[in-house]
Structure 1
């Protein structure tokens, strides 16, 4: 009996060892825990920032989107009423969405084209390149509020010097920020005036293109257009995609310039004691971030609806970014 038990015990022990995972030595466990603590210590600044400035605000925004909350009284659960109000009942949501998407399409496209074009021109200049580089970059350093106020006065339809010059030349004199048909193009002109950031980025990318590829293209008889298409463009494509992605995200958050331009054009500058309603003229400068501010803080104190608009903006930014990154992977041949 005892011999059978001993034999059974001896035969069952190796089978259990083979069936399960090999035992981990206590020293190895302590080493792994120590390495995990070291890794978490190095990651702690990023983890703390991620939780405080992204995860917690995002979760709070989702939570308040289902609440009626005015910032003073305790939040009250209302289900999907905020979503229904924003998407179907709010008279400004779709206007702001159309304006924002128009700015994303036109402003980002023209900024990339102009930034790349100016960068290519300056890299070809032999004399005075430093002066032109500084001249094009300096407007980017101007504060957005000051630059917008200056542009609004320059483009004033009655007293602005731009329309005065156009009148002297016998050309049409647009209403600029006072005309719904010209207000968004005026904002695009303001964005193109401050093109210095993209110019510098594209200049660095253009100067990094290998010269031997240009020499090989010249030997093959390639003209300027062929050299740009088959040599320059493939080498700077990652920088172009970076400019497009960051430009889309920034334009989806477009707020300051549109707000200040509308205030100056309507004569209701901040501090004048007048309450300014965004979108002047006729809602043409409404943007989604302005609607968030208007719903949450300016008129209705409806933070729940403002959170809904913020989530829609977040989803749009994620969708645009994912689409552009997938497009970049296709162009670069990534898996």
Structure 2
């Protein structure tokens, strides 16, 4: 029986090295362009974030006034902050009150407007841009100063409230109302979470609402049983972002209070007090310790939100949720 060969045998003088079976370049050669493009971000993260964080952590254990060399004091800044400084705890209470009120109201307004925009046919793009505009403008010092003028004694808001029989004498000078002026300024900037809510609402199938309507479910029942569960990942996303941003509020508090947290420390937010201790009183070591306490607190609260989200956030593509 004869055999058939499908190719000529290799020659003895053929010195060409064999090519890799895959035909690809070595892994190291394929990765270096990625590192080149990532290098600006990596350098920026190192120089603008990681190194300043390390320096701030060191300064939090020192007595530093911006002019003299830092002097190591160990845990004294943290001890003074937690046990000897009543204004520190006043700033913590004011910030927590602001977060607890402002974040739910802002998300509620954002979701309500997003649902209204979803039902619109024509003009949705215009209204979406119009409602988003305050999110771009509201963080500026100019808008904060205008807000202060509106809610000050003799401002437009005071005149409107006086006309309907509500006499406040101006929110800015009232220790019981000043913080709520900052809350309303934050709620007015609901455009960013509104856009995210609108994107999430558009992903919910209309068939779900049609089936619920055929079963006799009203609008409220549809909202509770369909919209809220299907939108829960988006609610969780907005909640985490808004909570972190609210703990860092500074510009509205600085402008509305005149930079001193008044009246009677009613607008002494955490970041405003940090600024006062660091740049007004030149206690930069103490301010650095406050910054790290804020980082730890926000991290713990964020971790709690992630842990508790397992019981109320529904993901449609996962079983057993």
Q: Place the TM-score, normalised by the shorter chain, in its bin.
A: 0.7 to 0.9
Q: What SS does the corresponding residue of 2:78 show, helix, strand or coil?
A: helix
Deviations 1:211-249 (A, max 9, x none): 121122222222212211221112221111111111111
**2:244 matched to 1:262?**
no
Whole-Å Cα distance in 2 between the matches of residues 34 and 329 of structure 1?
Answer: 43
Whole-Å Cα distance in 1 between the matches of residues 298 and 41 of structure 2?
Answer: 22
Q: Which moved more, 1:92-101 or 1:227-236?
A: 227-236
Deviations 1:49-95 (A, max 9, x none): 33223322222122111111112222111111111122222231101
Retained in 2: the 8 A contact 1:174–1:182?
no
Retained in 1: the 8 A contact 2:155–2:170?
no
Alignment CA distance shift 1:193-1:33 (3 Å): closer
Deviations 1:22-47 (A, max 9, x none): xxxxxxxx946556656654554443
Deviations 1:248-305 (A, max 9, x none): 1111111000110012xxxxxxxxxxxx5x2111001111111221111112x11111
Residue 305 of structure 2 corresponds to 324
Number of residue equivalences: 291
Whole-Å Cα distance in 2 between the matches of residues 316 and 234 of structure 1?
Answer: 29
Q: After TM superposition, which residue ranges in structure 1, 4 or more long, deviate above 3 angstroms?
A: 30-47, 125-135, 332-335
Whole-Å Cα distance in 2 between the matches of residues 81 and 245 of structure 1?
Answer: 32
Stretches of structure 2 lacking an aligned partner (at least 5 in a row): 1-24
Residue 302 of structure 1 corresponds to 283
Deviation, structure 1 residue 326: 2.1
Q: What SS does the corresponding residue of 2:97 show, helix, strand or coil?
A: helix
Whole-Å Cα distance in 2 between the matches of residues 91 and 140 of structure 1?
Answer: 34
Whole-Å Cα distance in 1 between the matches of residues 305 and 48 of structure 2?
Answer: 25
TM-score by length of 1: 0.79
Q: Find 2:141's aligned residue among 137, 140, 145.
A: 145
Alignment CA distance shift 1:40-1:125 (3 Å): closer
CA RMSD of aligned residues (A): 2.3
Give the helix-richer structure, 1 or 2: 1
**2:179 matched to 1:184?**
yes
Q: Find 1:160's aligned residue among 155, 164, 179.
A: 155
